[in-house]
Structure 1
């Protein structure tokens, strides 16, 4: 795969030989690849091999040039080495980082994922004051079928658009499938109204405005309006309020209170009349596809078992309300049309029931390993992975690079050991990938957030970082390994990056070589095993972990059993989604495999005796992977056949609770002390004896 690098008119101190050695490729340095040396680009794209172009500034120009080049058959990949490192105060030391970015660009494209389809015919609902709504409709031009829901105001006398009116407007749905409902309690039928204004002039209280809605608080029932509207027949005070609903494809909400007040509103819902918004509305007609960002495995889900709710982490963190509880099926549901692909639900999921698919964890892990191994192979040290969003985060990084090149505001630019990595969303990576990156050789993982992230995302990131840092500190690795950076200006980002770059954290002596698995728990085990094996010194037998806020606790831990309260009913065993709790078919025992426990809390919420307490920790001894007995009891032998069928404590507790009940006296009470088989036999025998006596 040919690589084309350009120092952008000699504004970057690139070292083609060193970069080429890291890529195992002979590189030619260009200075005006997009101008005088464009022939080198044209020759490369005629080779048939994929071509990596180290320039995003002129991406559009290169794409146009490719269409004009005869025999151009190569796919082109673009990577930014200018703002991410070449334009920095320490650009001369950025060679290993630039080699790493170019190596990652050589990786195969991620495998395709299933898609979600939207179909829009252009039925647009504008909600707002009549005058504002009509102006917005006029700006949108032709191509959209506009309907207005009036929130008051004075509209034009010429009826250019259908107008709806009423109270209690409500909106649900997404692009191509919105449902708008309201209560039509206005005595004036807007479909019949001719806007002659006779009712407005006739109303003595001034209760009728030019939106042709009647203000009930001012109307005193003179009904002069009804008299002047006899011909059109548009006014009827006897008409009962009707619930109305209509489908729409797009919604422009100009009301003071949003109809959908979410951090991540659904596709097709817009607010405001900024030019960018109007352009997106005009383009909202047709058939569209987006990736299905997640994969859900119900059998791993810790949300609900046996009508008990355990984990709500994915529901609580979703800023689009795409995740909900399906109580009938005791599982969650994810609406792919509402999902915006932030991935927060997948990173807070303790079991891996929800996994991110765009890209998949294995593909993301391969990219991180390639970046870090190439960086280290080229002589780089103390790598800081900077994870940022592909929109505002990327723009902020590029602004910082340009400011450094122009020597504006005394910023330094992206440090030589900071490797930017663009993500679809910053919440799409979590504990498993962060620990894997540190095992692969990163000194730190920094996540850049701007004002585009929802508060729930930040809470989720902070909780996971607290767990990861506790693990690393407990293993003896010095320094701060996880950083949540908050920045909205180049100056703030520069200060945060300079602080991180100047404070390297201790990592494993030997980088890991494992492949990131799609299964979250498998990846966590691989990363932890390597970090434990490479830990400096001798760590303690266990590491205490922060419990975190509700739904965002540590994914590892043990259980404490109140043996005085526990009756070994084993309801917790059937509730456990991870097979961490197990029974013993031979003896009345409750056994526990700590490695499997995800601290979801289903066992605690299921326990009728409230005898279970969760304690987050990481056990480092071999017992973590072994079954151990949490509680056991003396078996109770059937009073008829002598076979053990329960525990002495449980049977005595049952008999004690039912001893005062009229239905459990005498022989009926004795049956409580029998196994299931003997209980049936004894009951059948008693019934036969009763029949014989009756005869």
Structure 2
């Protein structure tokens, strides 16, 4: 279907070249670009209404007035409703037009328009939450009571207070608990809160008559109706005055309690859940401003909710565990929401090995995608959108930019939240302040749900598609673990580019806290671009995409070295086997999750296909002799063909039976067995010789001299 694109120079505040944009996009995609509007949202709104009634898809190059255009579409007779044909919007003002080099921004604007015209990614499965509004407020009694007043008409509330934290209302309108050592697990609609009740006063039995407060000479009891045991002298006058109610019992053992809740409002000074990404339905409010924001969200948190299932997981590719040995745990280590855990009970069979996988709890997953970026095998992949769809976006952006005459493109990956806001702030500041440059004409913004979700295969593919640089913008949204993970992965990708001889810094993590820092970072000099853009498409399989990308990068390099040394976090590499220590037991072969290690049915060999190795370390942790060491590198000898072929890591001549000369074991295995058993009195003389025989000869030897047969020989 044809897309009608409407552009507006926003009251002549930015230069736009409609014919150049139309030529770059082509007849169908460039429909409507022959006219550059000046006040599309006001005086020229009729042009939008005519486009809305045409039946074509409509793209408006303005996000400032998106709400107004949506309302105008609803009021236009003959226009399709938004439910049937949504109006698309793209920001070309702050991202390009309001820059000091806005007159050179036509290639960038054409690229942004082409990106906005791509169809939406295929829908993904969703994760459901169900909240009936049962909420727990934790913290100071007075603040908790105040929060309860603002929520009581919407939610079914309970309070959890600690001793000495404010006064409870005299009127009992809500269930009130008291306790310490509070622990919270779960998510929206499925929280489990546990605590320990140690105080002598049971709030369920307390009538708040205040007799105990009057009776206590030390003032150890306040209107939270809990006893400050550090002040109590054990005279027990409070017990006497409370005899009828029986709410006070100093001999009561500490009680552990646990209750389910749909929502949790934590008013503690320090959050009880310290994760960078707390679960949905948990709100922490240390001050009044945070409390008001939390109250507004809590009032709307009743009902059924959905979010995307952000990931796909293929257990067969997972390099986490084999045969009860732990290998790669990168995804578990990087997850700031603690949504990923090891699960040894998640067992299956792969190549004769018992494998244990991971479990990703979709209700806790916040969609950062860092797990998919650090996953070396591609067992975890991002789904919203998938890498193939994201690759199409990157390719469209860069190819359109180049076709329109753009040079030295820098791809700026940013989040749809804090990153987009900071870029918008930069564009608006550049409009009013002469010292601020704004987003340069060569910088192409690409939004993502989360910046950590785009990893090495897409960064390198962007370079292969013609990008001079790939920059990842991180603001205060991103957790420190994400920054470290992206930095490590970038070091590997940059090492590959530098090792192939491409000059400059192609990959950079931009950590900008304000407009000035971002403005400075975007002024970096271009790095060397490839001579020819790649024609391959990014695939859903991470490793397959990386192989396609490496082949193109090698073809464009002036000279290809035999190998490139890579950092430890590399998903590429080989193995070094200590031949003196290796017993050739081949347990590493069954442990390998990627099919990189193999034996030889005709010879006693340990072999490796280096292309398949993901450097998970399972072989090293499985090896009983500790004979295997990881060697992170990119082997490029013989045009890269060597890494795709079987290499012999270790080879030995078999140990032959001392009786019949039939090969039956490895020399190292016999050597180790003799070293362990040779000194034992049960294995002397003929018994020692039988250790060096094959199974058939051992039986013959035992029966030919039955007086020497011992239970250990059987």
Mark yes or no: TM-score above 0.5: yes
- Hey, what does 1:205 align to over in structure 2? 218
Unaligned 5+ residue runs, structure 2? 347-355
Cα distance in 1 for partners of 2:478, 2:133 equals 30
Matched-pair contact (CA < 8 Å) for 2:90–2:112: yes
For residues 494 and 669 of structure 1, do their structure 2 counterparts lie closer, same or farther at Cα, with a shift above 3 Å needed?
Answer: same
Task: Write out aligned runs for 1:126-525 (5 A).
Answer: 126-151=137-162, 152-272=165-285, 273=288, 274=290, 275-329=292-346, 330-407=356-433, 410-498=435-523, 500=524, 503-525=525-547
1:505-555 Cα offsets, whole Å, 9 max, x none, are 1121110011101111111111111001001x21321111122xxxxx111
Cα distance in 1 for partners of 2:56, 2:86 equals 7
For residues 666 and 280 of structure 1, do their structure 2 counterparts lie closer, same or farther at Cα, with a shift above 3 Å needed?
Answer: farther
Matched-pair contact (CA < 8 Å) for 1:384–1:445: yes
For residues 156 and 29 of structure 1, do their structure 2 counterparts lie closer, same or farther at Cα, with a shift above 3 Å needed?
Answer: same
SS in 1 for 2:341: strand
SS in 2 for 1:206: coil
For residues 35 and 683 of structure 1, do their structure 2 counterparts lie closer, same or farther at Cα, with a shift above 3 Å needed?
Answer: farther
The aligned length equals: 681
Q: How far did 1:71 drift? A: 2.9
Task: Write out aligned runs for 1:586-597 (5 A).
Answer: 586-597=602-613
Matched-pair contact (CA < 8 Å) for 2:702–2:709: no
For residues 220 and 69 of structure 1, do their structure 2 counterparts lie closer, same or farther at Cα, with a shift above 3 Å needed?
Answer: same
- Hey, what does 2:22 align to over in structure 1? 20
Matched-pair contact (CA < 8 Å) for 2:321–2:357: yes
What TM-score do the two structures reach when normalised by structure 2?
Answer: 0.92
SS in 1 for 2:345: coil
Choose from 646, 665, 673 the match for 2:692.
673
Cα distance in 2 for partners of 1:687, 1:581 equals 44
SS in 1 for 2:109: helix
- Hey, what does 1:529 align to over in structure 2? 551
Matched-pair contact (CA < 8 Å) for 1:440–1:511: yes
1:266-285 Cα offsets, whole Å, 9 max, x none, are 11111114232221111111
Q: How far did 1:240 drift? A: 2.6
Q: How far did 1:43 drift? A: 2.3
Cα distance in 1 for partners of 2:698, 2:454 equals 56
- Hey, what does 1:123 align to over in structure 2? 134
Cα distance in 2 for partners of 1:475, 1:603 equals 29
Q: How far did 1:639 drift? A: 4.3
Q: How far did 1:326 drift? A: 1.2
Q: How far did 1:667 drift? A: 5.9
SS in 1 for 2:100: coil
Matched-pair contact (CA < 8 Å) for 1:171–1:260: yes
Aligned Cα RMSD in Å? 2.0
Task: Write out aligned runs for 1:676-687 (5 A).
Answer: 676=695
Cα distance in 1 for partners of 2:585, 2:124 equals 44
- Hey, what does 1:559 align to over in structure 2? 575
Matched-pair contact (CA < 8 Å) for 1:49–1:75: no
Pairing 1:7–2:23 present: no
Cα distance in 2 for partners of 1:379, 1:199 equals 84
Pairing 1:584–2:597 present: no
Cα distance in 1 for partners of 2:328, 2:217 equals 61
- Hey, what does 1:624 align to over in structure 2? 643
For residues 196 and 582 of structure 1, do their structure 2 counterparts lie closer, same or farther at Cα, with a shift above 3 Å needed?
Answer: same
- Hey, what does 1:93 align to over in structure 2? 104
Matched-pair contact (CA < 8 Å) for 1:633–1:649: no
- Hey, what does 1:608 align to over in structure 2? 624
Cα distance in 1 for partners of 2:482, 2:615 equals 20
SS in 2 for 1:327: strand
For residues 2 and 146 of structure 1, do their structure 2 counterparts lie closer, same or farther at Cα, with a shift above 3 Å needed?
Answer: same
Q: How far did 1:60 drift? A: 1.0
Matched-pair contact (CA < 8 Å) for 2:604–2:651: yes
- Hey, what does 1:550 align to over in structure 2? none
Matched-pair contact (CA < 8 Å) for 1:123–1:249: yes
Q: How far did 1:421 drift? A: 0.7
Cα distance in 2 for partners of 1:608, 1:220 equals 62
- Hey, what does 1:653 align to over in structure 2? 672
**Larger mean Cα displacement after TM superposition, 621-630 or 231-240:** 231-240
Q: How far did 1:296 drift? A: 0.9
Q: How far did 1:153 drift? A: 1.4
- Hey, what does 1:110 align to over in structure 2? 121
Cα distance in 1 for partners of 2:683, 2:298 equals 72
Matched-pair contact (CA < 8 Å) for 1:303–1:312: yes
1:292-350 Cα offsets, whole Å, 9 max, x none, are 11111111111111111111111111111111111333221111111110000110111
Q: How far did 1:674 drift? A: 3.9
Matched-pair contact (CA < 8 Å) for 2:702–2:708: no
